[in-house]
Structures are given as C-alpha cells and as structure tokens.
Amino acid sequence: MNRELSAPGQGRHWLSYPKFLVRSLAVATDGPFAFYAWMTVLTAVALVGANAWANQVTQGMITTGMTDHVSWGLYIANFTFMVGVAAGGVMMVIPAYLYHDETMHDVVILGELLAISAIIMCLLFVTVDLGRPDRFWHLIPGVGKFNFPVSMLTWDVIVLNVYLLLNLHVCGYLLYMKFLGQAPSPRWYVPFVLLSIVWAISIHTVTAFLYCGLGGRPLWNSALLAPRFLASAFVSGPAFIILTMLALRKFAGLSLPSGPIRTLVRIIRIVILINLLMLVSEIFTEFYAGGAHTASARYLFLGLHGFHGLVPWMWTAVCANLLAAFLFLHHSVLRSSLVLVAACVFAFVGIWIEKGMGLIIPGFIPSALHEIVEYSPSLIEWKVSAGIWAFGLMVFTIALKIALPVLAGRTEDLLPAASGPAQETGRVGS
C-alpha cells in the first residue's frame, strides 16, 4: 500500500467532493422502471407516515395506543429492534477485517450501509416517540442540558450518532476514493472500521442498559438483557444482509460471491442457538423462581387474569425462532435459496417480535401498581412506523445504488467521465 497519503491536496478536495456528491446522486437516481416503481411506493408510504406523525404531534399522543400504564409502544419496540439490525452489520466487518476474509471484504460495505440506514431509522423512531419534538434541541450537548453520564438515554444518543458517523465516514471515504480513482489509504479508514466493531457492540449494550437498569420493571431488570440483545442482533442483522444479497442477485443481476453468505449462515447457526439458550434460561429463571416478578413473563407467555393480548405474538416469535434455527442448521439451507430465504425471514420476524412487542410492551404489563392495561398500536402508530421503515428502505436503496457499481466491479459508473483510470478491482478497500 501507498505509505503516503493518497488523497490529493486540500485545494482539489473541496472542488472534487461536491462533484462526487452530485455524481453519487445522479447514480443513485438512475435506474430501470422497477427501481422507480419501488422508490415511488416507498415514497408514498413514507409520506403517509409523515402525515400521520404530523397529526400525532398536533393532536397529541392520545392518537396512539399508549397510556400512562404502557407508556412505550410500537415506536420504542421498533427502535430497539433496529439498533440490533444496525449492530448486526458488524458480523460482516469482523470476518472481513479481523479474519481477513477476502470475499467478505468485497461485500462488507453492504453491512455498513445497512448500519447507516438502520441508525437513521432508530433516530427517527425515537423522534416520533417524543411528546415534544419541537424541544429536540434540549438534547444537543452544549446547547441544551445533556444529562450525561447519568441518563442512559444520553449514552444512547452519543453511541448511535457516533456509530452513524463512523459508518458514514468509512463508506463515504471508500466511495470517494473510487470516484477519485485512487486506492484508499488504510490509515483513513481501518482505524475507524476497527473502532466501529467495538462501537457496534456498544450501541446494543447501551440500548439494553436503557431497560435493564430500571429496577421497577422486573421483566427488563436482568443482567442477561444486553447479551441477549447482542445475540439476537447478530441473527437479525446478518439475516437481513443475506436477504439483501439474494435480492441484489435476483433483481439487480449482480453476481455476488456466495462465500459471504456461507460465512454469515455459519455465524447465524451458532448465534441463533446462543440466543435461544439465553431465552430459555431467562424463561426458566422467571418461572421457576416464581413470585410477583413473574407476572410480566406470565402475561407474555400464558396470559394473566384473563388478559392475553401478547400471547399470540410471543408464541409466533418462539415458533419463528425455533423454525429459523431448525432451517439454518439444516444442510439444505446452503443449497436451496428458498430455504435460506425462509430461514432468514423467520429469524427476522421472530426477533422483531421478541425484542419489540415481546419485550418492551410486557415490561409495562402489569404496571408498576400491578394494574393490567393492555396495549395495541393505533392506526397512526402503524402508519408512522411503516413510514419510517419505508424511509429507511429508501435510504438503504439509494446507498446501495451508489455502492452497486463498486460491488459489481463497474467502478467507472462512479467515475466522472473525464476523470482518472478505472480500478481493475471491484473490491472496496483492501
């Protein structure tokens, strides 16, 4: 590798960087009819969500299904899950950078782009959950009154934003270097990639600490929560990446190597069992020890005093997770993409429920005074959540569009017409 900084002089950067952005935008917005149709649908859903949110802010959160008893709902459930998806991308980074898996290295940018989109979704899910989004500036360190380090939420604000910046920097730098037609300098991204590995663990650990630090909520108040979060994240993240790669193969006609998929499946095979093991030990402790602290778990799995709003959700999650584990462990998962897709979808859905509706909601049921008030999301909540998902997918699609030429080895797409020679390798970084 070139030991000198390969970036050109400062004077040229502020000219070429805007050009790079414009070029990226052009690449990102060019595509076949199917692409425009996809983006149109996502835009429409996102707009429905934006409208629902505007109504929620104006009329008050009375429009949601939340109450003083169940004061967090679908938004925080989705937030928790998406932090996991963001952290899950690191399961590509670790093989690529720590174990020097060359084929993984070629596609690792997928995981980083997924992290970016997922973190943006996380930030949006937190924002729509605020009763006073107009006072968002109170959260800005230095400007507002940032209750750091006492409030775990401030830790979460920090780790999520830094993780976003880390991934934006790494992806942006590598693509920019492709645009310039230069070899990226490891100094400029490898330390950040290594930091992002630690950071990925931290975002989900801190998110778990949000809940498990609350003594008044027995269901959450478990030291196992952070490890469980990480384990489920390292299933849901890779599962989504596998689905993305399969979709890119099928719809974008990319010939992606199957090595990374095999590696991810091998990772999922182990982690999904660890996740189930931890779920089982959590359930055992809750039920065998018994007492009043079991009430939430009892409500979640069996129903309590005639209320069982979450029982179908949770058993769906358990079944989906077991089915996913079975499919992933079965040898056919590596031969049949249908089985693989099914395994990934089951794992994704199972964990979405397990960490969202199956964890956040029952933490509030029964309430602190042991009253049972059930929760089901209102239409507005579904609309806003769907809107954020659509927006996240839009971000992910656009990011992929910019990175696609790199993945496909067609880096010339990114190059300005008159710029330097195209790279002979399709690999991002090395």
Partner 1 sequence: MSETSGPTGGPGDRRPGAAGPTDPSRRNALKGLGATLGAAAFVTAISPLRNLARTTSPEELMQKHYKELDSEEKRAILRRLEEETKLEYGAEARIRDHAAIPGTKFAYAINLSLCNGNGKCVEACHKENNHDRATNQSYIRVLEMPIGTMDMGRGNTTYDHDVPAKGKFYMPVQCQQCDEPPCTDVCPVQATWKEDDGIVVVDYNWCIGCRYCEAACPYHARRFNWRKPEVPAEEVNPEQGLLSNRIRPQGVVEKCHFCLHRTREGRLPACLEACSTGARVFGNILDPESEIRWILENKRVFVLKEELGTKPSFFYFFDK
Partner 2 sequence: MMFRRSVTIILGILSGVVLAIWPTITDSTNSPTEAEPDLSVVRERPATFPITVRYPTPSPGVATGIVDVNGRAITVACEVCHSMIAEPPSPEALGLANLKDFHRGLVFEHGNLTCQSCHDPGDARSFRLANGTPVEPWDVIDLCSQCHGPQRKDFDHGAHGGMSGYWDLSRGPRTRNACTACHSPHAPKPGEVRPTFKPIDRFLTGSDPDHPTPRKDADHE
Among 90-98, 102-110, 145-153, 241-249, which window interacts with partner 1 (CB under 8 A)? Answer: 145-153
Q: Quick one: three-class SS letters along 343-369?
A: HHHHHHHHHHHHHCCCCCCHHHCCCCC
* 30 sits near partner 1 (criterion: CB under 8 A): yes
Verify binding: residue 161, partner 1, rule CB under 8 A.
no
Q: Which of 12, 19, 187, 335 binds partner 2 (CB under 8 A)?
A: 187
Evaluated on CA atoms 262, 264, 268, 271, the torsion sign reads positive
Separation between Cα atoms, residue 103 and residue 343, nearest integer Å: 23
Peptide bond into 366 cis (omega under 30): yes
- Using rule CB under 8 A, residue 4 touches partner 2: no
Q: What is the amino acid identity at position 362?
A: P
DSSP string, 301-351: HT-BTTB-TTHHHHHHHHHHHHHHHHHHHSGGGGT-HHHHHHHHHHHHHHH
| Nearer of residues 3 and 132 to partner 2, judged by Cβ | 3
Q: Which of residues 116-135 bind partner 1 (CB under 8 A)?
A: 126, 129-135
Runs of H (alpha helix) within 130-185: 152-180
In the range 259-318, which residues lie near partner 2 by CB under 8 A?
Answer: 305-307
Q: How far apart are CA 219 and CA 110, in angstroms?
A: 35
Q: Which of 93, 104, 114, 157 binds partner 1 (CB under 8 A)?
A: 157
Beta-carbon-side half-sphere exposure of residue 371 (alpha carbons within 13 Å): 7
Q: How many residues does the chain have?
A: 430
From the list partner 1, partner 2, none, partner contacted by residue 183 (C-beta under 5 to 8 A by kind) = none
CB of 377 to partner 2, least distance (A): 10
Q: Distance between CA 330 and CA 169 in Å, rounded?
A: 39
Least distance from C-beta 148 to partner 1, angstroms? 8
**Site membership for partner 2, residue 101 (CB under 8 A):** no
Is 139 a residue that touches partner 1 (CB under 8 A)? yes
Binding mask 209-238 for partner 1 (x = CB under 8 A): -x--xxxxx---------------------
Q: In sequence order, what are the residues at sequence separation of 6 or more whose Cβ sits closer than 8 angstroms to the Cβ of residue 56?
A: 63, 64, 128, 380, 384
**Identity of the residue, 80 or 202, whose beta carbon is nearer to partner 2 in the bound complex:** 202
In angstroms, give the least distance from the CB of 81 to partner 1: 17
Sole binder of partner 2 in the list 3, 9, 150, 418 (CB under 8 A): 150
| Min separation Cβ 346 and partner 2, Å | 28
Q: Give counts: helices (H), strands (E), the chain.
A: 13, 0
Number of residues that bind partner 2 (CB under 8 A): 21
Residues 29 to 48 in contact with partner 2, rule: CB under 8 A: none
Stretch that binds partner 1, among 7-15, 40-48, 327-335, 347-355 (CB under 8 A): 40-48
Instruction: Determine if 54 is a binding residue for partner 1 (CB under 8 A).
Output: yes
Q: How far is the CB of 67 from partner 2 (least distance, A)?
A: 6
For residue 371, state whether it binds partner 1 (rule: CB under 8 A). Answer: yes
d(CA 362, CA 342): 28
Q: Over the Cα atoms of the chain, what is R_g?
A: 22
Query: Does 368 interact with partner 1 (rule: CB under 8 A)?
Result: yes
CB of 194 to partner 1, least distance (A): 29
Query: In the bound complex, what is the minimum distance in angstroms from residue 366's beta carbon to partner 1?
Result: 7
284 binds partner 1 (CB under 8 A): no
Buried residues in 182-205 as b, exposed as e (16+ CB within 10 A): eebbeebbeebbeebeebbbbbbb
- 224 burial class (0-12, 13-18, 19+ CB within 10 angstroms)? middle
Residue 188 binds to partner 2 (criterion: CB under 8 A):
yes
**Which CB contacts under 8 angstroms, 24+ apart, belong to 9-16?**
16/179, 16/180
Binding interface with partner 2 (CB under 8 A) = 5, 62, 65, 67-69, 148-150, 187-188, 191, 195, 305-307, 371-374, 376
